[in-house]
Amino acid sequence: MSDFILSRRELQVLTNCIYDGDTRYVHVTYPFYDLELFTLDMKKPELTHIVRAKDFDGARLSRKPIDRSVSADELPSYNDLRNCLLSSGFLDYKNEGEIAKTLADLRDEARDPNKRPRPVFVALDTNILYNKFLSRHLPMRDGMSDRTVDSEDFRYVLSEVVQQEIDNRITHKYTREEIGALSALFAHKELLNEFRNASGRRGRVAKLAFGEMNFVMTELRALRIKGRSTGDRERNDIAIAQSYKEWARGGDYDVLLLTADEDMINHARMSELMTLQMELPFDVPEHGRIDPWAVTDLLYDLAVTFGAVSLENEGVTLLGEWGGKTSGDYARENLKAVLRDDGKARAIGQQLGVCRGILGQQRE
């Protein structure tokens, strides 16, 4: 048995090795529920036999703790799977056509001082970071006009209240008692040895959102604006909208708020902000095509959100948490890949060494 620390992008080395082998269909499972999430057709690529909500919920309920030794919130739900399918780009927003048109119209208007004499900024709600809209769903094409809109077409602002909401979720780490309780509930309990003192489910999901926030702040150079968290989720929505309103008024800017929250739309309108609601998908198809790059994004998001995910018939387990994982590993979007086949491990190690060598030469 061998293991590697791989970045999200380096997962492409792993999937390429599978693609070059004899395996066409990879069964992706959640080991702690002993449940197959979907089958990945490597040749198309395509997701098939995506688990149905009733089957997922049945597996979850069978593992639900009967006492208070561990919170049921630590058991991933079907909504977690749906969110990973959305954040990876496999699922679309229900109104992607409207989203693309609105953003393309705003971008074109902002370039014409006769239409929009004031500078235009895009403001972000917390859920936009969780869903990774800017890094994973753009560029996006407006099918009506054939215009393409990209994340780099705009300037962005991010409220400190949004940052505080995410940061406040990263508080819980598993205790020895919780690990013991989960061991009594989960299949493949040997994997739980990696989770001692590791972040709980909500914290892991928040760290994924932190990754998107880093993208927004560094790659898109968003401006951070002042705001104060109220400590209450509903009132925080008002605080977020108010912080963007005060900033827009102080600088005489036009601001469009992106959000997936119906209530936030009302708060934003009360704050005289332009709004664009991203309508979240509810239904998950049983199969569908997926972009090859999105495969690695999906595997990464699943491994972090669920803690572990297995490519069952390939003898590979991807761990989102492991003993010795650091904040730097989260910043670099690293996973731990455990491989049962030493021959496959050698092949991946060789290809990984070549890729890292090339990238190292490019940086010099």
Confidence band, pLDDT 50/70/90 cuts, at residue 332: very high
Q: Is the pLDDT of residue 364 over 70?
A: no
Lowest mean pLDDT of 103-107, 151-155, 230-234, 326-330, name the range: 230-234
Condensed to tens digits (0 to 9), the pLDDT of residues 199-254 reads 999 999 999 999 999 999 999 999 999 998 877 777 899 999 999 999 999 999 99
Average the pLDDT over 277-289 and give the result.
96
> What tokens appear for 308 in the block?
């572990």
Q: What is the pLDDT of residue 81?
A: 98
Task: Give CATH for domain 96-168+204-277.
Answer: 3.40.50.1010
> What tokens appear for 226 in the block?
């002042």
Rounded-to-integer distance, Cα 53 and Cα 77, Å: 9
> What tokens appear for 323 in the block?
């003993």
Rounded-to-integer distance, Cα 128 and Cα 231, Å: 20
What pTM, to 2 d.p., does this model score? 0.94
Domain ranges of the chain: 2-91+283-363, 96-168+204-277
Q: What is the pLDDT of residue 342?
A: 77
216 and 222 in contact (C-beta within 8 Å)?
A: yes
